[in-house]
């Protein structure tokens, strides 16, 4: 049974590792800088309601796949980000559970921000941003888990 699991993992890893390191060291360095910046912004997105986390983490994974196999493997091995990245790379979709968590975190972060802010203009801006982000996440394709 473990050989089947390893074979399945190797096959899924092969699909993810279609992206290759760039030939030019300068371009690899540029991809690395963009990847580190995207990862930092993605981490900030965990705490700030106006920044989406997932697109920046996916951008970082793509940049790392072209610049640093070590950083790319680190993201793929991460217990939270890894499965989301693999799902996106293999199927260009997200799991329904990930979407539900995104909606919950958005509701909590935007809701608390709207309650804390006193200016009606800022409240309106937060509602507008929440609507845009909700629409973006709603449009992401979902793959049935049993397929």
DSSP 73-103: HHHHH-TTHHHHHHHHHHHS-B-HHHHHHHH
Verify that 70 and 15 share a domain, yes or no: yes
Using alpha carbons only, give the angle 88, 52, 32 rounded to the nearest 5 degrees: 65
Verify that 53 and 104 share a domain, yes or no: no
Q: How far apart are the first and last CA of the chain?
A: 20
* Residue range 96-126, pLDDT digits in tens: 988 888 888 888 888 888 999 999 999 999 9
Give the C-alpha separation, 144 to 142, whole Å: 7
User: In 10 A of CB 130, how many CB atoms?
Assistant: 19
| Domain range for 107 | 96-147
Q: Lowest mean pLDDT: which of 30-44, 81-95, 123-137?
A: 81-95
Say what the pLDDT of residue 19 is.
61
Verify that 138 and 107 share a domain, yes or no: yes
User: Which residues lie closer than 8 Å to 146 by C-beta, 6 or more apart?
Assistant: none
Verify that 44 and 77 share a domain, yes or no: yes
Verify that 48 and 5 share a domain, yes or no: yes
Q: In the chain, what percentage of residues exceed pLDDT 70?
A: 84
pTM of the predicted structure, to 2 decimals: 0.63
Verify that 16 and 70 share a domain, yes or no: yes
Verify that 101 and 87 share a domain, yes or no: no
- Cα torsion 133, 134, 137, 138: sign: negative
């Amino acid at each position: 049974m473990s050989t089947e699991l390893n074979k399945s993992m190797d096959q899924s890893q092969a699909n993810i590792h279609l992206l290759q390191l760039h030939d030019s060291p300068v371009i690899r360095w540029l991809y690395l800088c963009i990847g580190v910046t995207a990862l930092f912004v993605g981490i900030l997105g965990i705490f700030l309601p106006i920044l989406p986390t997932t697109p920046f983490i996916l951008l970082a994974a793509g940049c790392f796949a072209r610049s640093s196999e070590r950083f790319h493997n680190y993201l793929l091995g991460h217990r939270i980000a890894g499965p989301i990245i693999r799902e996106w790379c293999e199927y260009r979709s997200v799991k329904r559970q990930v979407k539900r968590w995104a909606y919950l975190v958005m509701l909590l972060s935007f809701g608390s921000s709207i309650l804390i802010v006193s200016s009606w203009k800022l409240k309106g801006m937060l509602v507008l941003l929440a609507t845009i982000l909700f629409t973006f996440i709603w449009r992401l394709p979902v793959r049935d888990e049993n397929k």
